[in-house]
Each structure stands twice: as structure tokens, then as C-alpha cells.
């Protein structure tokens, strides 16, 4: 998948910190796609995973080392390879997720 690497922050699940603590912000990496993506129902082997079409942004699933490495590529065009998943929890803020295996520079668009 080709796109621009972004970092976005969303409010966490409501009331998970109790009445006094408020909701914890969730900051993650996202790929704003060059072309819209589609996924068939059950793309990740889950029977409840819905089909998705016209998806322009994908939330990236990264380990801490990958997050650190990608920080310097924020705002840049990248090509990402990995396993596509359908969103399925309140912590997912895009309809599709990509469990990242590799990231490459991309010059396909700016």
C-alpha cells in the first residue's frame, strides 16, 4: 500500500479511566492512501469482519521499534507491506488496519 505516513490522536474509550481521570488519548500511525482500498468480508479470518470499500486511511499496527523507526518518516510518502485487518475494537480509529511487516520509501506520489 502506498500513502503518506501520518500520526493522529483520538480520545480513548469513554470512561475507561473512571469518573475523575478522564479518557486517555490514543496516538497512532496512519497511512493516508494514494488510492482507495477495499477488503472482502472476513479479510483477517474473523467471521464478523465486514467488507470494506472506499477506504482512504488505514491505521498501522506497529511494535515499539517500528514506531521509533517511522517517526522520522512522518509526512513522507511510503510503501507499506503487511497483513490487512478489519477494525474490531474501540481502539481502532480507521475501518482497516495494517499489521506492518516492512516499510519502504515511495516516490509514486507526493
Q: What is the pLDDT along the chain (110 residues), one digit of tens a residue?
A: 999 999 988 877 665 554 455 567 888 899 999 999 888 876 666 666 778 889 899 988 888 878 888 888 999 999 988 888 877 666 777 888 888 888 888 876 55
- Structural domain for 66, as ranges: 2-105
Q: For residue 15, tell me if it sits in a domain.
A: yes
- Render pLDDT for 44-69 as a digit per residue (tens, 0 to 9): 666 667 788 898 999 888 888 788 88
Q: For residue 110, tell me if it sits in a domain.
A: no
Q: For residue 98, tell me if it sits in a domain.
A: yes
Number of domains in the chain: 1
**Burial letters for 25-61: b for 16+ Cβ neighbours within 10 Å, e otherwise?**
ebebbbbebbeebebeeebeeeeebeebeebebbbbb
Phi, psi dihedral angles at 39 (to 5 degrees): -145, 140
Q: What is the pLDDT of residue 19?
A: 47
Q: What is the pLDDT of residue 78?
A: 93
Amino acid at each position: 500500500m502506498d500513502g503518506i505516513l501520518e500520526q493522529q490522536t483520538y480520545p480513548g474509550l469513554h470512561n475507561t479511566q473512571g469518573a475523575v481521570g478522564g479518557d486517555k488519548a490514543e496516538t497512532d500511525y496512519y497511512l493516508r492512501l494514494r488510492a482507495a482500498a477495499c477488503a472482502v468480508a472476513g479479510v483477517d479470518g474473523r467471521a464478523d469482519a465486514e467488507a470494506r470499500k472506499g477506504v482512504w486511511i488505514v491505521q498501522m499496527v506497529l511494535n515499539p521499534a517500528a514506531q521509533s523507526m517511522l517517526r522520522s518518516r512522518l509526512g513522507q510518502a511510503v510503501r507499506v507491506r503487511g497483513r490487512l485487518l478489519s477494525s474490531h475494537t474501540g481502539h481502532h480509529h480507521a475501518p482497516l488496519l495494517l499489521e506492518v511487516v516492512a516499510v519502504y520509501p515511495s516516490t509514486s506520489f507526493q
